[in-house]
A and B are shown apart, each in its own frame.
Chain A
Amino acid sequence: MKGNRRDFIKKTAIAGAGLALAASPFGRTFAALASDKKVRLAVIGTGSRGRYLMELLLAQKVNPNYELVAVCDNYGPSLNEAVALAKRYKINPKTYTDYSQLINQSPVDGVIIATPLHQHAHITIDCLNKGIHVLCEKAMARTLDDTKAMYDAHINSGSILLIGHQRLHSNQYINALERIHNGEIGVIGQMKAYWHRNHNWRRDVPDNQPDLERKINWRLYKEYSAGLLTELMSHQLQVANWAMKKYPVSVMATGSIQYYKDGREVPDNMAAIFSYDDGTQFIYDSMTINKAEGCEEHIIGDYATMKLESNNILREDPIKPEPAPGIAQLINDIQNGLFKSAPIGGSSWAAETAVSYNGEEIYKGQDGDGTREEIVHFIDYIQQKSSPEWMTKEGYYTSIWSLLTEKSIESGERITCPDKYLIG
């Protein structure tokens, strides 16, 4: 049985790697290159994340069939930095401080939206209704109703709506998830994830403009963001849903402002337990005062555990290396027999401590977290005029459940998803 399992694991690992590459839309980009028409793109929201996305877009050579025609931000310094960045790549996009002017005046095929969370919904809906494809940073929206309205606009307009869950585009994650779905780690019993930081999450506000506090540190205020839930947890909740190929049925959560009592309104620590209909749990926590454990997702099955951030698989029954020659084993046994210490007493029971085995690498060759591939895929999807619908659903339900987690923290109750937010 063990031998069969090992054979199965080897076969699924090989098959999974092949499938991941074949299924990756990154591979299909080359086919899309046949189209000569350049995709006209704009970036709305050129803060640090927006400029990061912009730089990845301008630096990538995988799909050069695009042009950055416009950038937009209502905060002058961010817009100026975006223009300076564009100039470094010898391009001169039009600049706007109002996104509605951009979509009315500049002919664009797609926009990348990287504004604060509370602005996602109306910008996205306006773009989709104008037939402009959207890559919107996660999470989708600040409220449940806005999230649903974004999804409805996507369905009604037929325009592409891709949510910025970059792990969906990382070959490392695609490979790992294919292997999970092929049964390599067995039956998933539990998933655990955490994101621990040692940082107050504050950005510097100019001394002479204290009124910019809420605009710059929008992640800390409930009006604009659900903090750790929408900005960090949503990434890892999406991975858990992806592993399960389904969405939770309930969440119980708690959170508090325990350390940074600096006027912020969102929790600086939180913990949540999501339940799935088969009894599987996803246990999550996030904190901002200690980074020892960092960021990780554990997908735990009865054959193995995959630690996705660290690209590591720990098998319950590790594949044994080729045995040493018999004579070497004999010498080893004799040595062990001669020099081993003789136990004279000990505990009759010991707790299961963590295994010391370091596991194996899941995937080689992924550079970055998938954001570069996400941008290339977006261009690819616009050229193909379609995107995988399940990816949009992943973004939708992740956003819904992130916001339901907030409701659980506020109410102290176990929360289920209201029927009106369920989509087919």
Chain B
Amino acid sequence: MEFGITQIRRIMKDITIKSKNIRREMIIWLLLLGISFGLNIYSIIKYQSQWSELYSSLGFVIAISCTLYIAIAIIRLFYWVILKIVRRS
């Protein structure tokens, strides 16, 4: 079978990330950042640690929000794959 430029063009579509998608992802991450920040406040109260940890532990908070974002992204990916399979069948 001939594998020419036409076939390659047919396979490789231009991927365009729409600003709507970016905004949606940003909102998801900001929500997770807010949840992480809330967890930090909860842990300061629970473990009676310093309120200065609100800013000194920002690194932890950002790391937690990113971890949660990645975890949710994996769940969304699974959901999308399953949805595709169901729709095809």
A: which residues have CB within 8 A of B?
323, 325-331
B: which residues have CB within 8 A of A?
39-40, 42-44, 46-49, 53, 56-57, 60-61, 64
Contacts of B43 in A (CB 8 A): 325-327, 329-330
User: A330–B57 contact, CB under 8 A?
Assistant: no
Among B47, B56, B61, the residue within 8 A (CB) of A329 is: B47
On whether A325 and B39 interact (CB within 8 A), knowing A330-B46, A330-B47, the answer reads no
User: B39–A327 contact, CB under 8 A?
Assistant: yes
Q: How far is the CA of A330 from the CA of B35 in the complex (A)?
A: 14
Q: How far is the CA of A330 from the CA of B60 in the complex (A)?
A: 11
Q: List 11 A-B contacts (CB under 8 A).
A: A325-B43, A325-B49, A325-B56, A326-B40, A327-B39, A327-B40, A327-B53, A328-B60, A330-B39, A330-B43, A331-B64
Count of CB-CB pairs between chains A and B under 8 Å: 38
Q: How far is the CA of A210 from the CA of B86 in the complex (A)?
A: 101
User: B46–A327 contact, CB under 8 A?
Assistant: no
Interface of A is mostly: helix
Count chain A CB atoms within 10 A of each CB in B40, B46, B53, B60 and give the residue with the most. Answer: B60
- Nearest residue, chain A, Cβ from B44: A326
Contacts of B40 in A (CB 8 A): 326-327
User: A326–B46 contact, CB under 8 A?
Assistant: yes
Among A323, A326, A327, the residue within 8 A (CB) of B64 is: A327
Contacts of A328 in B (CB 8 A): 57, 60
Contacts of A326 in B (CB 8 A): 40, 43-44, 46-49, 53, 57
Contacts of B47 in A (CB 8 A): 323, 326, 329-330
Extra pairs beyond A327-B43, A329-B43, A331-B64 (9, CB < 8 Å): A325-B60, A326-B40, A326-B44, A327-B39, A327-B53, A328-B57, A329-B49, A330-B47, A331-B60
Q: How far is the CA of A325 from the CA of B48 in the complex (A)?
A: 10
Contacts of A331 in B (CB 8 A): 60, 64
Q: How far is the CA of A330 from the CA of B56 in the complex (A)?
A: 16
Contacts of A327 in B (CB 8 A): 39-40, 43-44, 53, 57, 60-61, 64
User: A325–B46 contact, CB under 8 A?
Assistant: no
- Nearest residue, chain A, Cβ from B53: A325
User: A330–B42 contact, CB under 8 A?
Assistant: yes
Count chain B CB atoms within 10 A of each CB in A323, A325, A327 and give the residue with the most. Answer: A327
CB of B36, distance to nearest CB on chain A (Å): 8
